[in-house]
A and B are shown apart, each in its own frame.
Chain A
């Protein structure tokens, strides 16, 4: 099945800095999602982005399906951005999402 790898595993930023999180996948995808896991464990949907570029406030994401990677950009980071960011992908309509191991982001004031 599809494999998903995320980098870096850990990231520490000063408040106000920008960051880029990367997700590599091993096969073509029909679903690529980015999530932020809050301290209580809930996965918050950030982007559904099997291809192309999307932006939502300070966050944006780009997926280059032909090169099998996706990037999540966080600009002007805030302490509330701290947490674990997951990338998850699937490669056909009925197959479940496969998750990467996540990037743990810590934003310090």
Chain B
């Protein structure tokens, strides 16, 4: 049983560009959440998707958007990248209460 998988694992983008990160949830999981983790900090909640709709959103600007597909996989899009968007982006999936995380995508904005 594959766990949560994310792609790519590393990414370097230039300030002002746009980026798309991808997440495939654990088998049987229908809810996907995205988190941003800055260096030395705990993960911060960005948003959560269930039944292809954004259900909850954290304190992040509209530059951060997402999508969930019928197979429950998800994308995180960030527009107009800022240097401060450099972070580890984590995807979590669950069915019920317990959440499982992918290995993350490390985004560097230069």
User: A99–B42 contact, CB under 8 A?
Assistant: yes
User: A50–B97 contact, CB under 8 A?
Assistant: yes
* 8 Å CB contact of A41 from B50, B58, B103: B103
Contacts of A90 in B (CB 8 A): 97
A68 lies within 8 A of chain B by Cβ:
no
User: B92–A101 contact, CB under 8 A?
Assistant: no
B88 lies within 8 A of chain A by Cβ:
yes
State which size class the interface on A falls in: 20 to 34
**Count the A-B residue pairs with Cβ separation under 8 angstroms: how many?**
57
Per-residue CB proximity of B72-110 to A under 8 Å, as 1/0?
000000000000000010101000011111111010000
Nearest CB to that of B9 among chain A residues? A40
Nearest CB to that of A29 among chain B residues? B97
Contacts of A31 in B (CB 8 A): 97-99
Contacts of B106 in A (CB 8 A): 41
A14 lies within 8 A of chain B by Cβ:
no
User: A43–B42 contact, CB under 8 A?
Assistant: no
Q: Could you tell me the distance between the alpha carbons of A50 and B97 in the complex, rounded to whole angstroms?
A: 10
User: B101–A42 contact, CB under 8 A?
Assistant: yes
User: B56–A45 contact, CB under 8 A?
Assistant: no
User: A94–B55 contact, CB under 8 A?
Assistant: yes
Per-residue CB proximity of A58-100 to B under 8 Å, as 1/0?
0000000000000000000000000000101010011111111
Binding site for A on B (CB under 8 A): 33, 35, 37, 41-45, 48, 50, 55-56, 58, 88, 90, 92, 97-104, 106
Some 18 contacts from A to B, beta carbons below 8 A apart, are A35-B101, A41-B88, A41-B103, A41-B104, A42-B102, A43-B101, A45-B100, A45-B101, A48-B97, A88-B43, A88-B99, A94-B50, A96-B58, A97-B33, A97-B92, A98-B45, A99-B42, A99-B44
- Beyond A31-B97, A48-B98, A94-B48: 9 further Cβ-contacts under 8 Å? A31-B98, A40-B103, A42-B103, A94-B55, A94-B56, A96-B48, A97-B99, A98-B45, A99-B35
